Amino acid sequence: MDHSASRNAPAPTALPLSAVNTPALLLDNDRMQANISMMRLRAERLGVTLRPHVKTHKCPQIALAANAGQAGPITVSTLKEAECFFTAGFKDILYAVGIAPNKLDQVARLRRAGCDLKIILDNLSAAQAVAQASQRLGLDLPCLLEIDCDGHRSGLQPDDAQLLPIADLLRAAGVSVAGVLTHAGESYNCRSIAALQAMAEQERKACVDAAALLRAAGHACPIVSVGSTPTARHARHLDGVTELRAGVYIFFDLVMAGIGACRSDEIALSVLVTVLGHQADKGWVLTDGGWMAMSRDRGTARQVLDHGYGLVCGLDGQPVPDLLMTDANQEHGVLSLRPGAATPDLALAYPVGSQLRIVPNHACATAAQHSQYLVIKNGGTHVEMIWPRFSGW
């Protein structure tokens, strides 16, 4: 099977952005490819396998690009992602959300079809459900045990008293204990490179320590999986780790820029909008890109520099100083200047019908509002290709 990253993409359209029906999701291919190359090189230098997360983009063309044109290992957050990417040729898939019993038959169908799908869990109840399903179906359902490295969400403590009983229960039922996994979600709240480096080490150590405990009890634990985009970019070393998971690095976003995981000029995603009108007395520019185009995510509100609903750029992708998307209705976006900024005549600078690009706070949330990517070159004003994006669970 030919897994060329452009095999299934439509032929270049050379459609000018001025002819695009807005709002529309733009993907800067040059920036995306640079981000992909950066993370692949990081994984190579750290001596681990890169298992890109596909939840951000949900697009086979992008997944292939992230795996150097091959249908390599990936991470998913929904079983629909697993099904869609398996259909596209990907077989080594990790479903990195705690398994629910009602999803086990779907997992089994994928495994019977030839998908090397692995699941995760962090409690005895889930382990019992997996053990029962495995025996009922006569099928191995390989599991990784989720480790809590930072108190951010779910998982077992690295030395949790339940860690070995869970692993023993699975093994007794003929279920493979494939390894351990953790995610440093708290890295999104770091505010310096030093803090990100410390969080990366905390993430690494928690997972490696849990693996050591399991191995001492006779479990092979072949996979030691860590990853978040911020820690993946700033880890000093990953000794004892076998694979690195990250996803948003492919696009980056304003939240990532705010914590030092990227520069703003590395962000590959934006939303093209058209100016509808103005409210001069309020200093507003009104566009056709509301929260249905951008999402409700206000992730930068918790950071030192709040970008509202997104940072405003010209058609060339260059930021407009101090101009933000400060409010959002369903189909209307409100652009205005930061307090204290110089006050040019916005109606003159951005007349009705003019187009702007809005860089999102959270690439995952904004991409989820759209069904396709309009692929452009760095600073380009023409659509080169159109790549579909799916959604759902």
Q: What is the CATH number of the domain that holds 196?
A: 3.20.20.10
Specify the length of the chain in residues: 393
Q: How confident is the model at residue 7 (pLDDT cuts 50, 70, 90)?
A: very low
* End residue of a domain, out of 206, 222, 250: 250
pLDDT in tens, 182-209: 999 999 999 999 999 999 999 999 999 9
Claim to verify: residue 189 and residue 274 sit in the same structural domain: no
Q: Is residue 189 part of a domain?
A: yes
Domain count, the chain: 2
Per-residue pLDDT at 379: 79
Claim to verify: residue 57 and residue 110 sit in the same structural domain: yes
Residue 5 has pLDDT above 50, yes or no: no
Claim to verify: residue 155 and residue 236 sit in the same structural domain: yes
Per-residue pLDDT at 13: 63
The burial class, CB within 10 Å (0-12 / 13-18 / 19+), for 158 is buried
Q: Supply the mean pLDDT for the chain.
A: 95
Q: Is residue 108 part of a domain?
A: yes
Contacts of 28 (CB under 8 A, 6+ apart): 268, 269, 270, 317, 376, 377, 378
Residue 1 has pLDDT above 60, yes or no: no
Claim to verify: residue 115 and residue 208 sit in the same structural domain: yes
- Its domain, for residue 233, covers 29-250
Residue 129 has pLDDT above 80, yes or no: yes
Q: How confident is the model at residue 12 (pLDDT cuts 50, 70, 90)?
A: low
Selection from 224, 267, 220 nearest residue 245 by Cα: 224
Claim to verify: residue 208 and residue 309 sit in the same structural domain: no
Claim to verify: residue 111 and residue 241 sit in the same structural domain: yes
Selection from 168, 119, 161 nearest residue 144 by Cα: 119
Per-residue pLDDT at 299: 94
Mean pLDDT along residues 326-342: 95
Mean pLDDT along residues 265-286: 96
pLDDT in tens, 207-253: 999 999 999 999 999 999 999 999 999 999 999 999 999 999 999 99
Per-residue pLDDT at 343: 79
Claim to verify: residue 180 and residue 315 sit in the same structural domain: no
Alpha carbon distances (Å) from 157 to 265, 274, 287: 38, 49, 48
Mean pLDDT along residues 168-173: 98
More confident residue, 379 or 163: 163
Which value, to the nearest 10 degrees, does the dihedral of the CA atoms of residues 78, 251, 255, 46 take? 90
Amino acid residing at 19? A
Claim to verify: residue 213 and residue 116 sit in the same structural domain: yes
Mean pLDDT along residues 164-177: 98
Crossing angle of the two packed helices 193-216 and 163-172, in degrees rounded to 10? 50
Claim to verify: residue 288 and residue 184 sit in the same structural domain: no
pLDDT in tens, 352-376: 999 999 999 999 999 999 999 999 9
Contact, 270 vs 359, CB < 8 A? Answer: yes
pLDDT in tens, 283-294: 999 999 999 999
Q: How confident is the model at residue 16 (pLDDT cuts 50, 70, 90)?
A: very high
Residue 76 has pLDDT above 80, yes or no: yes
pLDDT in tens, 26-61: 999 999 999 999 999 999 999 999 999 999 999 999
